[in-house]
Copies of this chain bind each other. A is one copy, B any other.
């Protein structure tokens, strides 16, 4: 099923710049891997914020929490998860 996920990132300014650079690079790799696997089909930046809006396609809440908490920047994120359903006016291919 699909979940709408918003992630707001707040990295404390006092974090070691090298650690920060490494974390951001690892986050990017992890995000690309998850997108390739099909569980993270949509990912957008919110204009003006260090935030993203994403769609995840998973089978259970356990799977989604495991994915999200595996993100290297997870300790610096505030995450809001919204369960989605098929819209009755959705154009079907």
A82 contacts B by Cβ under 8 Å: yes
Q: Give the CA-CA distance A80 to B82 in the complex, in Å.
A: 9
Q: Is the interface of A mostly helix, strand, loop or mixed?
A: mixed
Size of the A side of the interface (Cβ < 8 Å), in residues, is 48
Contacting pair A61 B85 (CB below 8 A) = yes
Per the 8 Å Cβ criterion, residues 39-93 of A in contact with B are: 42-49, 52-53, 59-62, 64-66, 68-69, 75-76, 79-91
Contacting pair B32 A89 (CB below 8 A) = yes
Instruction: Give the most central of A3, A5, A82: most B CB within 10 Å.
Output: A82
* Also in contact, A61 and B90, with CB within 8 A (given A4-B44, A47-B68): no
